[in-house]
Amino acid sequence: MAPSRGRDNGALTGTGGSGVAEKSALKADCAACFGLCCVALPFAKSADFAVDKEAGRPCRNLLADFRCGIHTELRERGFQGCTVFDCFGAGQKVSQETFAGRDWRQGPEVSGPMFRVFPVMRQLHELLWYLAEALEMPAAAPVHPEIREALDETDALTRGGPDEVAAVDVAAVREKVNVLLLRASEEVRGKVPGRKRNHRGADLIGARLRGADLRGANLRGAYLIAADLRKADLRAADLIGADLRDADLSGADLTGALFLTQAQADSARGDAATRLPGAIATPARWTSAPS
């Protein structure tokens, strides 16, 4: 199906709206996008990508209708990185709102600005996702007014013209938002009984954490690549920015895990016994039987 034209992907609800309603507008709708992640972004040949591709050059697998020609075989063909990428709805926003349905194939006057805007929009949408999730946390209620204000301000930045969006100082926005997200996290984790582990930014690559009690742990930015987290208790753990590639979450409990994204879950391994937050779908490739 070719992408639709001129559709509204759903604005954030503004002051008084619920985080759940807002997050629905931050999910990728590839049918409404002009394959921007397959064109605008670069990738280097590695375990995640079978070939090198420079920014602004269409992936060799991109079809004329902006669909992926090997979508069902991405992992087998060496494009694992594509299977775990999430634009948080930035693709359809740029395609259908910022550029009003004009696609990059119309010429450099469209493609150049579009490819500059997309990476910025993607980062802003990721921040909106985290802010919307923080609004869903009852325990973070003391921070909600400031979070709501930051969400509205960030959302407004995504609705400017191409030049305005491309000029946004994302680092400054992220710094301000991160302060609020950390406060929300502390409010929630502070209500978890017992001693909470602090592994913020820790190198836990391949760590043996099977059955570990990580309730309310700070795992922000932790490297958990290929870590053994089978049957670990990760309830209310802060996982923002944690690298979960090939981590084994079989039988693990991530109920209420903070700031876990679909891309993080998709990059990990798990099974039918793995418990995920409600907003995260069980990846189809996970095995059907627990380890």
How many residues are present in the chain? 291
- The two tokens of residue 5 are 């034209």
Domain ranges of the chain: 19-188, 196-291
Looking at residue 13, its pLDDT comes to: 45
Instruction: Assess whether pLDDT exceeds 50 at residue 196.
Output: yes
Looking at residue 10, its pLDDT comes to: 45
Query: With contact defined as beta carbons under 8 Å apart, do 4 and 31 qualify?
Result: yes
* 82-102 pLDDT, tens digit each: 888 899 999 999 999 999 999
Location of structure tokens 């993080």 = 264
Average pLDDT over the chain reads 90
Q: Binning pLDDT at 50, 70 and 90, where does residue 157 land?
A: very high
Q: Binning pLDDT at 50, 70 and 90, where does residue 21 land?
A: low
Collapse the DSSP code of 265 into the 3-class scheme (helix H, G, I; strand E, B; otherwise coil) and give the result: helix
What does the buried/exposed string (b/e) look like for 16-33 if buried means 16 or more CB atoms within 10 Å of the residue's CB? Answer: ebebeebbbbbbbbbebb
Question: CA 182 → CA 78, 117, 134, 190, 284, distances in Å?
Answer: 36, 27, 10, 12, 31
Task: Specify the range with the lowest mean pLDDT, choosing from 14-18, 35-39, 71-75, 213-217.
Answer: 14-18
Query: With contact defined as beta carbons under 8 Å apart, do 242 and 262 qualify?
Result: no
Looking at residue 7, its pLDDT comes to: 37
Query: With contact defined as beta carbons under 8 Å apart, do 281 and 86 qualify?
Result: no
Collapse the DSSP code of 240 into the 3-class scheme (helix H, G, I; strand E, B; otherwise coil) and give the result: coil
Query: With contact defined as beta carbons under 8 Å apart, do 122 and 90 qualify?
Result: yes
Instruction: Assess whether pLDDT exceeds 90 at residue 244.
Output: yes
- The two tokens of residue 203 are 């190198």
CATH architecture of 196-291: 3 Solenoid (2.160)
Collapse the DSSP code of 248 into the 3-class scheme (helix H, G, I; strand E, B; otherwise coil) and give the result: strand
